[in-house]
Amino acid sequence: MNKKLQKILVLAAWSLAVIGVLTILGFANNTLDEKACSEVDVNINNIDAHDFIKNDDVFEMLKEKNKKLKGEAMHKIDLASMEKMFNANSFIANAEVYKTINGVVKINITTKRPIARIINSSGESFYLDEDGFMMRWSDRYTANLPVFNGNIYESYDVCYNINYSKTDINDSVLIKNNLFGIYRLAKYLDSSEFWKAQIEQVYVGEDVELVPLAGSHIIVLGNFQDIDEKLNKLFIFYKYGLNKVGWNIYETINLKYKNQIVCSKIKTVPSTRSQVSNKK
């Protein structure tokens, strides 16, 4: 057998194999399309155990959009429209929907991970997630996160489509939107186990002020610039200063000045007992 004939035979064999596979796949697809949906299998990955979405919520979303699945012919089930619906939900980071040969519709959902709770000046609550997107407030579940309040005028309905992680905070126009700075501070706190545990509230006013869990002081950050430099400076002060002199002697620790920390001590108020004693 010459080499040319051998090549032809090999090519023919491969062609027959490909045609066979395609035929089997086509038969499988036709079989699947003829089937009715026998089951809907929902799998939810709630990041960091934040329980924003439950299985019942998924079925409720399907019901609201009149998307009947169980018992429906598989060829009538629109996977793309379902994925689009789920991904439009502010609690969902990613949704994948697909069919199996057994007539099961699989719905895999991964929820977003919030890093800050916002209470704006109107009292409206919402979240910022780790990727810089806003999340609606949930009446059913509250995440344990640093709370940002004060002069925050942005609302969810107006700003929900902005990605706060991608725009330069130094932009002269956008810097007026406090959520850009809030995201960067929240992201920094979230990156450190120490700061994530230490800071429980942030007030946005003329100065940005942080309320720590440990100690009697308020941390004056100033603005949202140079966050890492300021908090690194404070960490060193905590380690070599407060650990020696005590955590409850200062009223404020001011970080807004370059290369220095300005502290004001708590004013001691004489107790009633000592005042009575002095009169005697």
| Nearest residue to 237 via CA among 258, 216, 254, 213 | 254
Q: H-helix or E-strand containing 110?
A: strand 104-111
Distance of CA 273 to the CA centre of its chain: 51
What pTM did the predictor assign? 0.79
Q: What is the pLDDT of residue 272?
A: 38
Q: Which amino acid is at 63?
A: K
Measure the CA–CA gap between 254 and 275, rounded to whole angstroms.
33
Measure the CA–CA gap between 120 and 189, rounded to whole angstroms.
20
| φ/ψ (deg, to 5) at 84 | -60, -40
One CATH from 1.25.40, 3.90.660, 3.30.1340, 3.40.50 for 114-265: 3.40.50
Which residues of the chain are in CATH 3.10.20.310 domains?
39-111
Quote the tokens at residue 123.
Answer: 């009292």
Q: What is the pLDDT of residue 177?
A: 82
Measure the CA–CA gap between 59 and 45, rounded to whole angstroms.
16
Which residues of the chain are in CATH 3.40.50 domains?
114-265
Residues 186 and 116 sit within 8 Å (Cβ to Cβ): yes
Residues 158 and 124 sit within 8 Å (Cβ to Cβ): no
Measure the CA–CA gap between 49 and 96, rounded to whole angstroms.
20
**Could you list the pLDDT tens digit for every one of the 280 residues in the chain?**
555 555 555 565 555 555 555 455 444 445 556 788 999 999 999 888 888 999 999 999 998 888 888 888 888 889 999 999 999 999 999 999 999 988 999 999 999 999 999 999 999 999 999 999 999 999 889 999 999 999 999 999 999 998 999 766 555 555 568 899 999 999 999 999 999 999 999 999 999 999 999 988 999 999 999 999 999 999 999 999 888 888 889 999 999 998 899 999 988 644 433 333 333 3
Residue 47 vs residues 24, 162, 176: alpha-carbon distances, Å: 39, 22, 31
Measure the CA–CA gap between 224 and 86, rounded to whole angstroms.
34
Per DSSP bridges, beta strands 114-119 and 147-150 are parallel
| φ/ψ (deg, to 5) at 42 | -105, 130
Measure the CA–CA gap between 214 and 209, rounded to whole angstroms.
15
Measure the CA–CA gap between 127 and 137, rounded to whole angstroms.
7
Measure the CA–CA gap between 192 and 183, rounded to whole angstroms.
15
Q: What is the pLDDT of residue 2?
A: 58
Q: What is the pLDDT of residue 66?
A: 81
**CATH class held by domain 39-111:** alpha beta
Cβ neighbours of residue 138 closer than 8 Å, sequence gap 6 or more? 52, 91
Three-state DSSP at 168 gives: coil
